Amino acid sequence: MERLKCLLVHNYEIENGGVSILNYDFAEFLTHNGWKVTIFSPLAKFYKEKVCFNLEWKFKNLEKIVYEADVILINLSPYLWKSYLKTIEYCQKFNKPYFIWFHIVLDKDVYKRRYGMKNFNERLDILKEILNNHLCQKIICVSEAVKNFLKDLIEEEKLITLYPGVKIFQKEKAKIFGDLLYVGRFSEEKNIQTLIKALKKLKDDFPQIKLNLVGSGPEEEKLIKIVKEFNLENNIQFLGHLKREEIFALYQSHKILVLPSKIESLGLVIIEALSQNIVPIVRETYGPKEILNNKELFFSGKEKELYLKIKDVLKNYKKYKNIVFEIKKKVLLNFNYEQNFNLMEKIILENILFKKEKLPFLKIEPCPIFV
């Protein structure tokens, strides 16, 4: 049987961001299941090492790729990058059905600050047009929160909530040890300043406390300056970008993962950390509430509350480790790599409505959850 061709359009420019990771993993999953996959992404230069699918970032080739694709999956966002709009333009030209993979909670309070209300409303109008187009088959949402914020834009029958599959690595403990670990982008909405301020207070209780920060972003220089102002150079270390395998090794050598983000549509690092038995402390927001469903692991967002929560976890670590063991199995099942990506593949195949004959299911080769 001829291999089905999938075009996956992904415009996020964060190499180790959660959305980038999920795109890479789903492309790899489909390839292992017999598909011919092309990722159209500005991250193509980062993906070139050990990839088993095609990579492209030349707009002059996009029209041909769309024309030849059997399935087109677009990671849409309010940024409305040129790659999204051009892909949809070509879909309309060739009468090609497409699917949307939506990773973002469209919280107006967040995005009106980023774009301004008028600009955000204009973007919403464009999103409505894209999502309600007759060529758009399904919108696959990574969480119920994402889905709930789309209900006013599109008829609900088009919306599907499907947690993504999360790949788990088993690695030896890293040589870098610490009490606290942050993994993610250094940007305003990630709220890392609150974590640093909480650590300043924690130093009075735990003079040798160590926080390691993994990632980079627009606030990096500002955060480094704050660390110096607070005289925390011996307590906080910036580790930069790391490969996923290296991050899993760090989970093994730390006690607590702190995710203080003002908004998280999902929170991939929470699932990864739980798989390695590290205690997550997260702000009580959209995605984390769905993942954890346990009040003991949340804080409301205030600096003082984060300080008190971390202090309590460090003093009662055994209690919190038991909480992790209690919820770990269910969380990992909800985000099972093989199970969830198999289901996503099935949804896509069953909803290609523009083919008169029902597409045969591809023979599914099991993909390992643990790599």
- Give residue limits of the domains in the chain: 5-165+336-350, 178-334
Ordered per-residue pLDDT tens for the chain, 371 residues: 578 999 999 987 666 678 889 999 999 999 999 999 999 999 877 776 668 899 999 999 999 999 999 999 999 999 899 999 999 999 999 999 999 999 999 988 878 777 888 898 999 999 999 999 999 999 999 999 999 999 999 989 999 999 999 999 999 999 999 999 999 999 999 999 999 999 999 999 999 999 999 999 999 999 999 999 999 999 999 999 898 999 999 999 999 999 999 999 999 999 999 999 999 999 999 999 999 989 999 999 899 999 999 999 999 999 999 999 999 999 999 999 999 999 999 999 998 754 544 444 333 333 332 22
Cβ proximity of 256 and 281 under 8 Å: yes
What pLDDT does 16 receive? 63
pLDDT of res. 56: 94
CA distance 348 to 112: 33
Closest by CA position to 198, among listed 333, 305, 313, 90: 305
Q: In one letter, which amino acid is 47?
A: Y
Task: Give pLDDT, residue 114.
Answer: 77
Long-range Cβ contacts of 80-85 (<8 Å, 24+ apart): 80/123, 80/126, 80/127, 81/11, 83/9, 83/11, 83/40, 83/41, 83/59, 84/9, 84/11, 84/130
Q: What whole-number distance in Å separates Cα of residue 34 and Cα of residue 360?
A: 12
Please give the pLDDT value at position 1.
54
From first CA to last CA, the distance across the chain in angstroms is 29
Domains 5-165+336-350 and 178-334 share a fold: yes
pLDDT value for 353: 53
pLDDT at 364: 34
Pairing of strands 236-240, 159-161: unpaired
The total of other beta-carbon atoms located within 10 Å of residue 229's CB is 10
Predicted confidence at residue 25, as pLDDT, reads 94
Distance in angstroms (rounded) separating the CA atoms of residues 130 and 86 = 12
pLDDT, residue 13, reads: 64
Q: Which fold has domain 5-165+336-350?
A: Rossmann fold (3.40.50)
Nearest alpha carbon to residue 72 among 13, 134, 10, 158: 10
* Predicted pLDDT of residue 112: 79
pTM surpassing 0.85? yes
The highest-level CATH class for domain 178-334 is alpha beta
Euclidean distance between CA atoms 245 and 327, whole angstroms = 23
